[in-house]
């Protein structure tokens, strides 16, 4: 496994750490203006959404509750490949009652949008008063029918690592965002 220090040799840096922080600052202000008075439940989509959720929470200075959901899309996939069009399985559901609540779902990346769309529907079925979605990166995926309410950054439809996005479980901790040349 190539170490994070060597990633510049085999991946393109799309956003350095400063650019990511600046983008998060900007989107956090937009989100706060919309949800601060709603006393929302911020629901982190594990594992990828954890760094972005933590960064947002550092920037939010209003009352909120935090919870998480762990969703997995099942399908056989090659190492490094994201499952596409697979069924959604909730491994962990939010513990907070969502009925009548304003919910902010936070994830790392919006690819096809299947997972986030299904999670939004799940939260709505649990009686949430309003559901908004936020992603760190909105990838330019052709034919997608779901859009996040907030996206800090945009990227081409390439395999991304850093800030929660991983390659076989590695590199979620990188503070920059890289696009792999070929995930194989």
Question: Catalytic amino acids?
Answer: 111
Whether the link from the prior residue into 131 is cis, omega within 30° of 0, is no
Is 13:161 a contact under the CB 8 Å cutoff? Answer: no
Q: CA angle 117-153-21, nearest 5°?
A: 120
Mind giving me the DSSP string for 1-62? Answer: ---GGGGGGTEEEEE-HHHHHHHHHHHHHHHHHHHGGG-PEEEEEETTTHHHHHHHHHH--S
DSSP SS3 for 122:
helix
Q: Where are the alpha helices (DSSP H) in 36-180?
A: 50-59, 114-125
Structure tokens given for 177: 């965002």
Contacts of 182 (CB under 8 A, 6+ apart): none
């Amino acid at each position: 496994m190539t170490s994070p220090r060597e990633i510049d040799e085999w991946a393109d840096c799309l956003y350095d750490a400063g650019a990511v922080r600046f983008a998060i600052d900007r989107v956090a202000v937009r989100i706060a203006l919309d949800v601060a008075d709603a006393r929302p439940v911020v629901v982190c989509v594990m594992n990828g959404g954890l760094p972005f959720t933590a960064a947002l929470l550092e920037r939010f200075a209003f009352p909120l509750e935090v919870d998480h959901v762990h969703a997995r899309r099942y399908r056989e996939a090659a190492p490094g490949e994201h499952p596409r069009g697979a069924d959604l399985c909730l491994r962990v559901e939010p513990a907070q009652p969502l009925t009548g609540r304003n919910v902010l779902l936070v994830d790392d990346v919006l690819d096809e949008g299947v997972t986030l769309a299904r999670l939004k529907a799940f939260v709505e079925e649990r009686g949430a008063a309003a559901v908004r979605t936020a992603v760190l990166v909105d990838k330019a995926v052709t034919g997608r029918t779901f859009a996040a309410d907030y996206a800090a950054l945009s990227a081409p439809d390439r395999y991304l690592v850093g800030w929660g996005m991983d390659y076989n479980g590695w590199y979620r901790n990188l503070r920059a965002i890289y696009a792999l040349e070929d995930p194989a």
